[in-house]
């Protein structure tokens, strides 16, 4: 739940008086309107200047910029992010579901294509365990042929969990059909 | 074509370069015609053949190598630890920096003289090697810590990664290339400074002591033989350290790939 949240970077206000009650949320708005900042507030990476955010834990995320550990393999990146031991079969099932070719599983992620890396990020976030999942432009780089399957799998995986997606893609918005929060962006001070 | 490809291999190129410089050395020795000014490679090989079977030769290598390696290890661990402590707090960094800067800028000979006043000369090469390498390790590791990807730190926070995983998967791999670069430079520094200190402090049975003895009797062959030994030891030690670090890096990279 987001209640009357405001946030600023140094002297630049980004969010003012934002509220949302839904457990799933689609955040929209132009570049620089504060979508990623709002996801960071929900994930607890930033503290609001005013208002409050209450969100369940454990948490997971697909970050806008991947945030993969480059020297680790695809499997390593998924395993390292999850507390306790994750079975090989569970990771394999997740990779298959997001369409990551088997040949990529044990390669360092620095050798993978943009689309493959994105699928690793999705697998990492969608594995069971997290009660809150935030997705920041999650399907960037995924080819048009497999996109509908991956999108559908993501929605199914998030059912019963709290989730937020930030996206510019109208297809994502209509597919997820979650309550929308539009951030218009704050006027820049002179 | 096959011959050209074989010549293009780095090892072959290195061998040809070594043979070329040996030839230059031999030619220079012949041109001078004075064994005291410049002993020929053959004379140095002869000195090695004479010294190598003696116990003293290996004991001197062991004496200096143990102390220089000890000093290097102290500097590697101490420099990395200090850099980590400095990264925790700006005040701690401000406190540590002048000391590291002082060690870096004070001429090595000042430390040598001071240490000879304070302690036994057997401690000299350990301490001097450590003092020379510590600022290099500190500066490199500090840079590595500063350049760590903040995004991965956020990743660790979101996924609530335990501290051990953060260290093994994110922090150590980020700092390791900087630490390795410091070690690459540091090994050579440790040997140069350590042996220089021994030549001044003359601890009994050290390589520095042997170099000094060779100088006293104007035995340029022995002197150059010991110089070659120092270069070989430094090279071997560098290979050992870098090999161990490479093995550690690949162990870190393999981490989390398998469930067991």
From residue B60, give the alpha-carbon distance in Å to each of B52, B53, B213, B217, B225. Answer: 11, 13, 13, 18, 13
C-beta atoms of A86 and B255 within 8 A: no
Where in the sequence is the domain holding A109, given as residue range(s)? 2-182
Q: Measured between alpha carbons, how far apart are the two ends of chain B, in Å?
A: 49
Q: What ipTM was reported for this prediction? A: 0.93
Sequence-ordered alpha helix ranges (H) in B166-206: 172-201
Q: How far apart (Å, rounded) are the C-alpha atoms in residues B73 and A20?
A: 56
Which residue is it, tokens 């190129």? B13
- The better pLDDT of the pair A189, B195 is held by B195
Share of chain B above pLDDT 70, in %: 96
The phi and psi torsions of B258 (rounded to 5 degrees) equal -120, 155
Residue of B nearest to A60 (CA): B159
A148/A175 Cα distance (integer angstroms): 9
List of chain A residues whose C-beta atoms are within 8 Å of the C-beta of residue B259? 79, 85-88
What is the extent of the structural domain holding B101?
A: 43-254
Q: What is the mean pLDDT of residues A65-86?
A: 90
Mean of the per-residue pLDDT values of chain A:
93
Phi, psi of A112, rounded to the nearest 5 degrees: -90, 160
Q: Is A190 part of a structural domain of the chain?
A: no
CB B221 within 8 A of CB B43: yes
Q: How many CB atoms lie within 10 A of CB A65?
A: 12
pLDDT 10s digits, B17-75? 999 999 999 999 999 998 889 999 999 999 999 999 999 999 999 999 999 999 999 99
B109-114 long-range Cβ contacts below 8 angstroms, 24+ apart:
B109/B200, B112/B196, B112/B197, B112/B200, B112/B201, B113/B200
Does residue A22 lie within any of the structural domains? Answer: yes
* pLDDT for A185: 79
- CB < 8 Å to B252, chain A: 71
Q: Could you tell me if residue A158 is inside a domain?
A: yes
Q: Which two tokens stand for residue B235?
A: 């090279």
pLDDT band at residue B260 under the 50/70/90 scheme: very low
Question: How many other CB atoms are there within 10 angstroms of residue B6's CB atom?
Answer: 9
| Domain membership flag for residue A47 | yes
| A72, A82, A83 member nearest B253 (Cβ) | A72
Q: Which residues on neighbouring strands pair with residue A12, listed in sequence order?
A: A9
Selecting from A57, A61, A71 the residue whose C-beta is nearest the C-beta of B253 gives A71
B170 touches chain A (CB under 8 A): yes
Per the structure, how many domains does chain B have?
1
Closest by Cβ to A81, choosing from B149, B161, B255: B161
Residue A67 lies in a domain: yes
pLDDT in tens, B240-258: 999 999 999 999 888 776 5
Residue-wise DSSP of A21-73: --SEEEEE-STTSSHHHHHHHHHTSS--SEEEE---SSEEEE-TT----TTSB
**Domain assignment of residue B188, yes or no:** yes
> What pLDDT shows up at residue B1?
54
pLDDT recorded at residue B242: 97
Question: How does strand A50-53 pair with strand A2-9?
Answer: antiparallel
What is the pLDDT at residue B80? 97
Q: How far apart are CA A68 and CA A90, in angstroms?
A: 19
Would the pLDDT of A189 be above 70?
no
Q: How far apart are CA B104 and CA B131, in angstroms?
A: 8
Query: Which residue in chain A is spatially nearest to B148 when comparing CA positions?
Result: A69
pLDDT tier, B5 (very low <50, low <70, confident <90, very high otherwise): low
A65 reaches B (C-beta below 8 A)? yes
Q: Quick check: B259 and A87 CB within 8 A?
A: yes
pLDDT at position B257, please?
62
Asked whether the predicted pLDDT for residue B126 surpasses 80, the reply is: yes
How many domains does chain A fold into? 1
Which chain B residue has its CA at the smallest distance from A66's CA? B151
We report the CATH number of the domain holding residue A152 as 3.40.50.300
The mean pLDDT value for B90-94 works out to: 94
The yes-or-no verdict on residue A184 having pLDDT over 90 is no
The C-alpha atoms of residue A172 and residue A180 are separated, in whole angstroms, by: 12
Judge whether residue A160 has pLDDT over 90: yes
Q: Where does the pLDDT of residue A85 fall: very low under 50, low under 70, confident under 90, or very high at 90 and above? A: confident
Lowest mean per-residue pLDDT among A12-26, B2-16, B17-31, B138-152: B2-16
- Determine the residue of chain B that is closest to A83 in CA distance: B161
Q: d(Cα B101, Cα B115) in Å, to the nearest integer?
A: 19
Nearest CB to A88 within list B165, B252, B259: B259
Output A95 or B260, whichever has higher pLDDT.
A95
Torsions phi, psi for A50 (to 5 deg):
-145, 160
According to DSSP, the residues that pair with A165 across neighbouring strands are A26, A135
Are B194 and B66 in contact by the 8 Å Cβ rule? The answer is no
Asked if the structure places residue A58 within a domain, the reply is: yes
Task: Give domain status of residue B26, yes or no.
Answer: no
- Which residues of A are less than 8 Å from B173 in CB distance? 69, 71
The answer to the question of residue B83 being in a domain is yes
Unique residue bearing structure tokens 């398998």: B258
Q: State the pLDDT confidence band at B8, using cuts at 50, 70 and 90.
A: confident
Q: Mean pLDDT over residues A103-115, rounded?
A: 95
Is B259 in contact with A85 (Cβ distance < 8 A)? Answer: yes
Summarised one tens digit per residue, pLDDT across range A113-147 is 999 999 999 999 999 989 999 999 999 999 999 99
Instruction: List the A180-182 sheet strands across, edge first.
Output: A59-62, A132-136, A162-166, A24-28, A180-182
Q: Which residues contact B127 (CB under 8 A, 6 or more apart)?
A: B71, B111, B115, B119, B197
Query: To the nearest whole angstrom, how far is the Cα of B246 from the nearest Cα of chain A?
Result: 13
Is position B130 within any domain? yes
Residues B169-177, mean pLDDT to the nearest whole number: 94
Structural domain includes residue B13: no
**CATH number of the domain that residue B156 is part of:** 1.10.3720.10
pLDDT of A77: 95
In this structure, are residues B39 and B25 in contact, taking their beta carbons and an 8 Å threshold? no
Rounded to a whole number of angstroms, the distance from the CA of A8 to the nearest CA of chain B is: 19
* pLDDT at residue B119 in the model: 87
> Which residue does chain A place closest to B256, by CA atoms?
A76
- Residue among B157, B160, B256 whose CB faces A80 most closely: B256
Assess if residue B235 is contained within a domain: yes
Closest CA to B99 of B88, B86, B112, B87: B86
pLDDT attached to residue B2: 57
**CB-CB: which of B159, B252, B255 is closest to A81?**
B159
Is A86 within 8 Å of A79 (Cβ atoms)? yes
- Whether A87 has its CB under 8 Å from any CB of chain B: the answer is yes
Verify whether the Cβ–Cβ distance B252 to A88 is below 8 Å. no
CB B193 within 8 A of CB B170: no
Looking at CA atoms only, how far is residue A186 from chain B in angstroms? 25
Output phi, psi for A70, to 5 deg: -60, -35
Residue with tokens 């040598």: B112
Which long-range contacts (C-beta less than 8 Å, at least 24 apart) are formed by B215-223?
B218/B36, B219/B47, B220/B35, B220/B36, B220/B37, B220/B38, B220/B39, B220/B43, B221/B35, B221/B39, B221/B43, B221/B44, B221/B46, B221/B47, B222/B47, B222/B51, B223/B39
């Amino acid at each position: 739940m987001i209640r009357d949240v405001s946030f600023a970077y140094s002297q630049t206000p980004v969010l003012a008086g934002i509220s949302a009650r839904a457990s799933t949320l689609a955040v929209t708005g132009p570049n620089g309107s504060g979508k990623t900042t709002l996801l960071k507030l929900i994930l607890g990476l930033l503290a609001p200047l005013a208002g409050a955010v209450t969100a369940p834990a454990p948490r997971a995320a697909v970050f806008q910029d991947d945030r993969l550990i480059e020297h680790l393999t695809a499997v390593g990146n998924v395993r390292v992010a999850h507390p306790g031991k994750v079975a090989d079969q569970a990771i394999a099932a997740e990779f298959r579901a997001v369409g990551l070719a088997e040949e990529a599983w044990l390669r360092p992620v620095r050798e993978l294509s943009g689309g493959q890396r994105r699928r690793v990020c999705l697998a990492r976030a969608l594995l069971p365990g997290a009660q809150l999942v935030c997705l920041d432009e999650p399907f960037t780089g995924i080819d048009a042929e497999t996109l509908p399957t991956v999108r559908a799998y993501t929605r199914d995986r998030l059912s019963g969990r709290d989730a937020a997606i930030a996206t510019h893609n109208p297809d994502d918005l209509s597919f997820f059909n979650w309550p929308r929060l539009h951030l218009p962006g704050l006027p820049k001070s002179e | 074509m096959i011959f050209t490809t074989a010549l293009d291999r780095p090892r072959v190129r290195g061998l040809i370069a070594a043979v070329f410089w040996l030839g230059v050395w031999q030619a220079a020795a012949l041109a001078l015609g004075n064994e005291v000014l410049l002993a020929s490679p053959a004379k140095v090989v002869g000195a090695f053949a004479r010294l190598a079977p003696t116990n003293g030769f290996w004991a001197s290598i062991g004496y200096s190598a143990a102390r220089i390696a000890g000093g290097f290890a102290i500097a590697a661990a101490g420099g990395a630890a200090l850099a980590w402590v400095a990264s925790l707090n700006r005040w701690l960094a401000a406190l540590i920096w002048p000391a590291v800067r002082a060690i870096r800028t004070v001429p090595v000979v000042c430390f040598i003289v001071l240490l000879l006043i304070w302690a036994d000369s057997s401690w000299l090469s350990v301490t001097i090697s450590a003092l020379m390498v510590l600022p290099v390790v500190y500066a490199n590791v500090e840079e590595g810590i500063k350049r760590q990807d903040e995004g991965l730190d956020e990743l660790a926070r979101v996924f609530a990664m335990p501290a051990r995983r953060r260290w093994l998967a994110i922090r150590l791999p980020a700092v390791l290339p900087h630490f390795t670069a410091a070690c690459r430079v540091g090994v050579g520094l440790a040997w140069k400074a350590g042996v220089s200190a021994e030549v001044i402090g003359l601890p009994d049975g050290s390589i520095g002591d042997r170099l000094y003895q060779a100088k006293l009797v104007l035995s340029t062959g022995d002197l150059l033989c010991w110089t070659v030994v120092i270069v070989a030891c430094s090279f071997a030690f560098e290979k050992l350290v870098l090999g161990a670090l490479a093995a550690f890096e690949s162990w870190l990279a393999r981490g989390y790939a398998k469930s067991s």
